[in-house]
C-alpha cells in the first residue's frame, strides 16, 4: 500500500509529505474510493466550503481504483486548506469495508467521519455529526435516511429502494439487540470516536462497514442525525449482484460468530445433506447396487455437500489454517466416524441402560452431533492464531 500526503498549496510530487496533525477534538474524514476520479474534486470543494470554518479537519482517501483517481485527488487537494492523504491499496482486502478500516488506522483525530466519494453524503453534515456526538457523549453517530427529517431521495429507482429497505429489515431482524437505536444500519455515513474502535476485532467483507462496527465493536452510546441521501454527482453506482452476495455472506459470518449460533447453523446444514444422500442412494440402488455399499457411497455425497456449505457459510474466515484437501479429508473422517460411533452408542444405551430404542437413537444422534461439531471446529477449522500484540491490544481496550 502506498501513501501520499498533499500539503495545501504545494504541487503534487509523488514524494510523501508529512501531514499536519489536526487539533484535539477535530475530525478525520475517511473516504473509500473506487474509480471516482470524476467526483473527488467536487467532494473536496464541498468539504472546503462547509467543514474547515467550523471544525479543523483532515481528509484520508483510501483508494482501490484502477483509474486515475489518486492523481485526480492529488490535483484537487492543491486548493484545500486542510491536509489530504491518499492511501492506495494494490490489493483491496475486505472491499470497501477493509478500506475504511485502513483509513481509521491512519486517522489522527478524536473523531472519524466515514463517507462515500460520490457526493451522495453531504459534507455540510460533518460538523453536526461531531457536535451531536459531543453533546450526547456518544461513541457513534449515524447519519440516517430513515429517521424523522431524513430521506432516501438519491436512491435511483424502485429496485434499489426495495433492496435497501429489505436489507435494513433483514439486518435489524437478525441483530435486534446490537442494532437497537440504529434506524439505518445500511448507512455508509457516520461519525465514530477513535477510542471506540478496536480495529483488530473487525473482519470487514464488502461495503457495509457500519453493520460490522455495530455488531463487533458497538460503542455503548449511539445516536442519530437525519440526512437526505443525494444524487450521485458523476459515474454509476458500484452496487452489483456480486456485492449483494458478499453482503449476505457477511451477514452469515456476523450471525454465526457466537458458538451456539454456529452449532445451530451446523445442524441446519447437516439436515440439508439428507437430500443429496437420499438422491445418491436412490440412483445407486436403481442401478442395481446392493443397498449397503450404496448407502456408504451415498453418504459421501452428503458429506461433500455439507463440506461445501460449511466452507462457504460457517468457517469462511478460518479456511487459511489448512489446505482445502486437508480440511476435506479431516471433515470426511469425522462425518463417517459419526456413523461408526452411533450404532455402538445406541446398543450401549439400550443394552446397559435399558432405554427404549427411539429415545436411545435420539440421544445418540444429539451426542454424536455435538461431538462432530466440536471436532469439526477444533480439528478441521482451527481458530486463527492471534499475535501476542493483538491480544494485548484487545485486553487494553
DSSP letter string, 43-107? HHHHHHHHSTTTS-EEEEEEE--SSSHHHHHHHHGGG-SS-EEEEE-SS-TTHHHHHHHHHHHH-
- On whether both 116 and 244 belong to a single domain, the answer is yes
Predicted local distance difference test score (pLDDT) of residue 301: 87
Predicted local distance difference test score (pLDDT) of residue 320: 73
- On whether both 100 and 248 belong to a single domain, the answer is yes
Confidence bin at 240 (pLDDT 50/70/90) = low
Predicted local distance difference test score (pLDDT) of residue 2: 64
* Cell reading at 397: 481496550
In a domain, 386, yes or no: no
DSSP H helices in 157-273: 157-174, 209-216, 241-255, 259-272
Question: Does residue 369 have a pLDDT over 60?
Answer: yes
Cell 487539533 belongs to which residue?
23
Q: Last residue of some domain: 204, 237, 255?
A: 255
In a domain, 292, yes or no: yes
| Interval 68-89 mean pLDDT | 90
- On whether both 148 and 291 belong to a single domain, the answer is no
Higher pLDDT, 208 or 137: 137
Predicted local distance difference test score (pLDDT) of residue 10: 43
Predicted local distance difference test score (pLDDT) of residue 245: 67
Q: Last residue of some domain: 231, 255, 279?
A: 255
* pLDDT > 70 fraction of the chain, expressed in percent and rounded: 77
Residues 384 and 257: their CA atoms lie apart, in Å, by 13
- On whether both 126 and 216 belong to a single domain, the answer is yes
- Domain total in the chain: 2
- On whether both 116 and 264 belong to a single domain, the answer is no
CATH code for the domain in which residue 183 is found:
3.90.550.10
- On whether both 285 and 209 belong to a single domain, the answer is no
In a domain, 159, yes or no: yes
- On whether both 302 and 230 belong to a single domain, the answer is no
Predicted local distance difference test score (pLDDT) of residue 16: 32
In a domain, 397, yes or no: no
Contact 233, 45 (CB under 8 A): no
- On whether both 102 and 215 belong to a single domain, the answer is yes
Q: Last residue of some domain: 203, 230, 255?
A: 255
| Interval 122-149 mean pLDDT | 90
- On whether both 225 and 275 belong to a single domain, the answer is no
Q: How far apart are the first and last CA of the chain?
A: 27
- Identify the weakest region by mean pLDDT among 31-45, 66-80, 83-97: 83-97
Confidence bin at 389 (pLDDT 50/70/90) = very low
Average pLDDT of the chain to the nearest whole number: 78
pLDDT in tens, 19-37: 333 344 489 999 998 888 8
* Cell reading at 106: 491512519
Question: Does residue 391 have a pLDDT over 50?
Answer: no
Rg (CA), the chain: 26
- On whether both 238 and 353 belong to a single domain, the answer is no
- On whether both 246 and 278 belong to a single domain, the answer is no
* pLDDT > 90 fraction of the chain, expressed in percent and rounded: 15
Question: Does residue 384 have a pLDDT over 90?
Answer: no
In a domain, 189, yes or no: yes
In a domain, 388, yes or no: no
Contact 16, 5 (CB under 8 A): yes
Confidence bin at 157 (pLDDT 50/70/90) = low
Predicted local distance difference test score (pLDDT) of residue 35: 84
Angle between helices 259-272 and 274-286 (to 10 degrees): 20
| Interval 45-56 mean pLDDT | 91
pLDDT in tens, 267-292: 888 888 778 878 888 888 888 888 77
Predicted local distance difference test score (pLDDT) of residue 49: 92
Predicted local distance difference test score (pLDDT) of residue 235: 52
Q: In which domain, by residue range, is 369 found?
A: 259-380
Question: Does residue 15 have a pLDDT over 50?
Answer: no
Residues 213 and 219: their CA atoms lie apart, in Å, by 9
What would the DSSP string read from start to end of 314-341?
Answer: ISGGGGGGS-HHHHHHHHHHHHHHHHHH
Higher pLDDT, 156 or 276: 276
pLDDT in tens, 294-337: 877 887 888 899 899 888 777 876 777 788 888 888 888 888 88
- Of 309, 343, 311, 347, whose CA–CA distance to 326 is shortest? 311
Question: Does residue 47 have a pLDDT over 90?
Answer: yes
In a domain, 281, yes or no: yes
In a domain, 153, yes or no: yes
- On whether both 291 and 355 belong to a single domain, the answer is yes
Amino acid at each position: 500500500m502506498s501513501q501520499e500526503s498533499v500539503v495545501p498549496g504545494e504541487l503534487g510530487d509523488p514524494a510523501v509529505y508529512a501531514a499536519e496533525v489536526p487539533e484535539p477534538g477535530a475530525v478525520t474524514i475517511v473516504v473509500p474510493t473506487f474509480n471516482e476520479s470524476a467526483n473527488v474534486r467536487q467532494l473536496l470543494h464541498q468539504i472546503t466550503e462547509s467543514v474547515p470554518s467550523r471544525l479543523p479537519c483532515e481528509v484520508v482517501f483510501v483508494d482501490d481504483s484502477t483509474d486515475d483517481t489518486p492523481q485526480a485527488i492529488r490535483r484537487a487537494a492543491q486548493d484545500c486548506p486542510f491536509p489530504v492523504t491518499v492511501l492506495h491499496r494494490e490489493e483491496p482486502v475486505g472491499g470497501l469495508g477493509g478500506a475504511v478500516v485502513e483509513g481509521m488506522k491512519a486517522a489522527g483525530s478524536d473523531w472519524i467521519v466515514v463517507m462515500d466519494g460520490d457526493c451522495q453524503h453531504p459534507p455540510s453534515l460533518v460538523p453536526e455529526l461531531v457536535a451531536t456526538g459531543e453533546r450526547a457523549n456518544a461513541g457513534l453517530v449515524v447519519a440516517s435516511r430513515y429517521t424523522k427529517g431524513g430521506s432516501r431521495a438519491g436512491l435511483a429507482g424502485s429496485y434499489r429502494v426495495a433492496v435497501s429497505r429489505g436489507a435494513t429489515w433483514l439486518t435489524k431482524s437478525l441483530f435486534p439487540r446490537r442494532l437497537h437505536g440504529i434506524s439505518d444500519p445500511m448507512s455508509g455515513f457516520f461519525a465514530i470516536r477513535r477510542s471506540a474502535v478496536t480495529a483488530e476485532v473487525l473482519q470487514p467483507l464488502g461495503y457495509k462497514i457500519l453493520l460490522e462496527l455495530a455488531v463487533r465493536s458497538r460503542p455503548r452510546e449511539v445516536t442519530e442525525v437525519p440526512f437526505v441521501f443525494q444524487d450521485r454527482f458523476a459515474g454509476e453506482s458500484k452496487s452489483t449482484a456480486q456485492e449483494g452476495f458478499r453482503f449476505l455472506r457477511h451477514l452469515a459470518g456476523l450471525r454465526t460468530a457466537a458458538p451456539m449460533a454456529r452449532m445451530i447453523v451446523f445442524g441446519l446444514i447437516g439436515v440439508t445433506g439428507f437430500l443429496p444422500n437420499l438422491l445418491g442412494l436412490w440412483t445407486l440402488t436403481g442401478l442395481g447396487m446392493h443397498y449397503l455399499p450404496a448407502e456408504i457411497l451415498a453418504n459421501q455425497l452428503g458429506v461433500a455437500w455439507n463440506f461445501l456449505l460449511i466452507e462457504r457459510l460457517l468457517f469462511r474466515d478460518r479456511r487459511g489454517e489448512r489446505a482445502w484437501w486437508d480440511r476435506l479429508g479431516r471433515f470426511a473422517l469425522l462425518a463417517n466416524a459419526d456413523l461408526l460411533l452411533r450404532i455402538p452408542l445406541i446398543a450401549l444405551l439400550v443394552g446397559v441402560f435399558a432405554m427404549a430404542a427411539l429415545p436411545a437413537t435420539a440421544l445418540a444422534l444429539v451426542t454424536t452431533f455435538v461431538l462432530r461439531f466440536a471436532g469439526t471446529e477444533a480439528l478441521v477449522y482451527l481458530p486463527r492464531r492471534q499475535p501476542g500484540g493483538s491480544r494485548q491490544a484487545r485486553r487494553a481496550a
